[in-house]
Structure 1
């Protein structure tokens, strides 16, 4: 499979959905022409979407779009990651029947793709531009992810209001994060950031702070405050977090 195989198939599906929507509702369809059908590929449409959502003026929109295009040209794997993120929403959310709605209307999705651009800028020493992306995503989308964080693919920011992810946080593939979640450094030394494994679910209002690891497929309950390790497969609930529903080896430990 080539790097762009998933994104190419997904783009064709998005265009077909947009064409059906245009035929069904010509008034709504006029907006789809600019947002989807006028573009020659997923990368161009996504760069334009980021520019629309982060840029308040025409000049700002052009600047954010240009930065995004540069990132996607320099790192085509960002588009593949964006495709897998979009597919993850459809798999995870039973209320979603297609790709078009989360692409155009889910602010958590565009915030995550804006972060992918900011992370590329950060790693290529365009740090002022990277922080500008973070600032505007925080102001306009209520999602603040530091460019120096590390986030895998097939990630779903659900509802995506009040999410804060700090510098050097590591988040694995297939993670779901709900609203009002904070992940970052604690106050004790050394001030290292959390490492979150694959397939972790983080409920609304959870706080995860400090030098800790959350194992693969763990679940963090709503409102839980986590300041210690959570073994893989366990559920953490409460303030402070208590472990429950752990696999046998973790329970014995």
Structure 2
């Protein structure tokens, strides 16, 4: 069974370590990086907290981001469970990778999402200045801005992950894939409420999803589509303004 098939959190960390050990043996120079990033840590939570610190903070600020991340993961182990499902989801969905180690080390969308998980924990614990600091740094360094007050499920994949903006109070379900330059947030119309994205939704590059609307489970949003109305489950939305296509028969007949 390939390492990418690993999904359970108890098996994830040993699989990552095995990949790191093989890579270090194959390339001693790269092995030094792997030793610091993976092999010196006792568990996935410690390694992930360190990686968040490395990606977000300068040398002087790295310890602060790592500390906040460790605090969050220790207090709420479900964050690590979700992080594991996010990582396994990349290995399942991205045809360019077959292992867990490359997206963990190199995919900025993955680190941006885990930094958001920490910022959301901080927000929920009324540490809002720290939460907004995470959002600001992720936006500046990784070009991904997710408001700490958003709600995001697990097994979520931010693919390419440049120019993604997710606003406050947006709700995103499990197994969602979001490509680059996507905006999800409130419209200018009142009342100013945010979109709700269902399970298994695919959102193409450059799409905008705006306002008090629902995107149903397993819907697809085409590249460059502007969505300001509900999209029923299983439908595909394309164009500006969005029009529906490929809907299940039960939706089309409704």
Q: Mark yes or no: TM-score above 0.5.
A: yes
SS of 2:130's equivalent? helix
Alignment partner, residue 146 of structure 2: 145
1:78-121 deviation digits (Å, cap 9, x = unpaired): 00000000000001011101000000000000000000000000
Give 1:56 deviation, angstroms. Answer: 1.1
Taking the aligned partners of 2:10 and 2:52, their CA distance within structure 1 comes to 19
Distance 1:252 1:181 in 2: 31
Match of 2:49 in 1: 47
3-state SS in 2 of match to 1:180: coil
Structure 1 partner of 2:161: 160
Please give the per-residue CA displacement for 1:129-164, whole angstroms capped at 9, x wherever unaligned.
000000000000000000000000000000000000
Query: What displacement does 1:249 show?
Result: 1.4
1:18 match: 20
Q: Which residue of 2 aligns with 1:36?
A: 38
Structure 1 segment 21-170 matched on structure 2, within 5 A: 21-58=23-60, 60-170=61-171
Listed as ranges, the gaps of 5+ residues in structure 2 are: 1-6
Tell whether the 8 Å contact from 1:8 to 1:42 is kept in structure 2 after alignment: no
Deviations 1:65-90, CA, capped at 9 Å, x for gaps: 00000000000000000000000000
Counterpart-to-counterpart distance in 1, 2:136 and 2:94: 28
Residue of structure 1 equivalent to 2:200: 199
Cα distance in 1 for partners of 2:156, 2:196 equals 15
TM-score, length-scaled by structure 1: 0.97
Unaligned runs of 5+ in 1: none
Distance in structure 2 (CA, Å) of the matches to 1:242 and 1:38: 52
Tell me if structure 2 keeps the 8 A contact 1:130–1:147.
yes
Aligned partner of residue 232 in structure 1, secondary structure: coil
Normalising by the residue count of structure 2, what TM-score does the alignment of the two structures yield?
0.97
What is the rounded CA distance, in whole Å, between the counterparts of 1:116 and 1:150 in structure 2? 9
CA distance in 2, matches of 1:6, 1:112: 19
Deviating above 4 A after TM superposition, structure 1's stretches of 4 or more consecutive aligned residues are none
Give the aligned partner of residue 222 of structure 1.
223
The CA deviation string for residues 7-41 of structure 1, in whole angstroms up to 9 with x for no partner, is 23110000000000011111111100000000000
For 2:181 and 2:27, the matched residues in 1 are separated by 35
